[in-house]
Amino acid sequence: MSTQKKVAFYTLGCKLNFSETSTIARNFQNEGFDRVEFEEKADIYVINTCSVTDNADKRFKSIVKNALKKNENAFLIAIGCYAQLKPEELAAVDGVDMVLGATEKFKVTDYINDLSKNEMGEVHSCEIEEADFYVGSYSIGDRTRAFLKVQDGCDYKCTYCTIPLARGISRSDELQNVLKNAKEISEKGIKEIVLTGVNIGDYGKGEFGNKKHEHTFFELVQALDTVNGIHRLRISSIEPNLLTNETIDFVSKSNSFVPHFHIPLQSGSDVLLKLMKRRYLKETYTNRVEVIKKTMPNACIGVDVIVGFPGETDELFLETYNYLNELDISYLHVFTYSERPNTEAVEMEGVVSKKTRTKRSKMLRGLSVKKRRAFYESQLGNKLTVLFESENKEGFIHGFTENYVKVKTPWNPELVNTLQEIKLTKIDEDGIVRFNWIKEPKFIL
């Protein structure tokens, strides 16, 4: 391929998708392509799709249109979960030239022989049962934090979820490879690593291509804590039934792991949790929150919750709302239920109207604002460490403390990607926290 060819990427969805996009982009660069921003003119546009919500599906067409506005002759490639689930549907979108499934996406450069536009998108897609091997990946250069993929796929059968159909069985990276990747990231001057996967608490299953666990998630955490040069390690999303007391206790005393947990709940009603085929009930979730807060009183706890699941009556929704209102958590990620083909939930009775789903979502988003505000207020006066981001937003630079409090100060490019000691002082009208320097800024390059 000519070194003059330019490639751009757009990522929809989760941290896992970002880690994979970054790895695929490096593969292109190794083949002699120049990576450019998606807003620029490119010869190839790669769109990494998501299919967790109906909205992610709909966004795909508008992204394709935007790419073609920049270069009507560009070669468009769709990869990711939506590409695995509905390859023919994506291939039929005007302007799409190639669709690659779950295993093919990591070999994308092998499929590019001719960049001429196709009348109809070519599909190279495996049966999901064939997605039984592991491809490691991590993101660098895209943001201050790096997303390190440690696990892929899921063996759970949640009735609303298409991820097992899009990503296959649960499988893990080999422990030594995770440690090697973590070391590579730290050597590039990145201060924070976020562990990511579909079900990271299941880490160790399929590590060497077999079903049994060679290592546990706790052993992974212990090993990563010994890697030199990593300032911060953050656990992304972990199932409450897989978050053990020993992991919580270890994080509280860790050199690198920060006091921040994101734990999916999905519903505060045991009735709905059973319908969703979640692997825990409310009592387990309450216990996890209580153990974290007892061990780390200043820990930040984020929660995923779904509204409008079939069978969610007004009473069951209020049970969820009241449960979350009373729980000592810090913020919510609210997902409005959307029907996904080939899931059990599609056939369930008790469908909730779109209008009611929207109303309930708005109520929980309002509760999230209240919870985040209360958590931030509880942190005022505390001395913490902030890692500054790289973007100038209206004259301010933002960053996050170890326990995920968002802070801001007037823009100073020398602060980018540095760790600074601060004392939280007040919350601005935009809900972001101001601070005083404990020490004059040190620029740790």
pLDDT value at 1 more than 50:
no
Its sign, for the CA torsion 164, 12, 260, 402, is: positive
Residue 189 burial by Cβ neighbours in a 10 Å radius (0-12, 13-18, 19+)? exposed
pLDDT category at 127 given cuts 50, 70, 90 is confident
Residue 35 exposed, middle or buried by CB count within 10 Å (0-12, 13-18, 19+): middle
Measured CA to CA in angstroms, residue 73 lies from 11, 67, 69, 233, 421 at distances of 21, 10, 9, 42, 50
- Cβ–Cβ < 8 Å for 387, 417: yes
Statement: residue 13 has pLDDT above 90 = no
Measure the CA–CA gap between 233 and 402, rounded to whole angstroms: 9
Q: How many residues does the chain have?
A: 445
Q: What percent of the chain has pLDDT over 90?
A: 84
**Distance separating alpha carbons of residues 75 and 73, to the nearest angstrom:** 7
Span 81-94, average pLDDT: 92
Tokens of 11: 């990522």
Strands 300-307 and 331-336: parallel
Q: Which of 402, 404, 391 is nearest to 432 (CA)?
A: 404
SS3 assignment, position 288: helix
Q: Looking at residues 146-162, what average pLDDT do you find?
A: 96
Please say if the pLDDT value at position 133 is more than 90.
Answer: no
Residue type present at position 144: T
Percent of the chain whose predicted confidence (pLDDT) is above 70: 96
Alpha helices (H) in 112-234, listed in sequence order: 163-167, 175-187, 217-224
Q: Are 336 and 363 in contact (CB under 8 A)?
A: no
Contact 388, 398 (CB under 8 A): yes
Cut 0.85: pTM above it: yes
Average pLDDT over all residues of the chain = 93
Strands 192-196 and 396-401 come out as unpaired
* pLDDT score recorded for residue 443: 61
Chain centroid offset of residue 382 CA = 28
Under DSSP, the state recorded for 226 is T
What does the pLDDT read at residue 303? 98
Q: Is 315 helix (H, G, I), strand (E, B) or coil?
A: helix
CB 97 within 8 A of CB 121: yes
Over residues 184-229, the pLDDT tens digits come to: 999 999 999 999 999 999 999 988 777 778 899 999 999 999 999 8
The 10s digit of each residue's pLDDT in 295-338 is 999 999 999 999 999 999 999 999 999 999 999 999 999 999 99
Report pLDDT for 54: 64
The strand ranges marked E within 24-173 are 34-35, 44-49, 75-80, 96-100, 122-124, 145-149, 151-152, 171-172
Most distant CA pair in the chain: distance in Å?
Answer: 62
Q: Which two tokens stand for residue 435?
A: 């601070």
SS3 state at 303: strand
By the 8 A CB rule, do 6 and 33 touch? Answer: yes
- The pLDDT confidence band at residue 367, using thresholds 50, 70 and 90, is very high
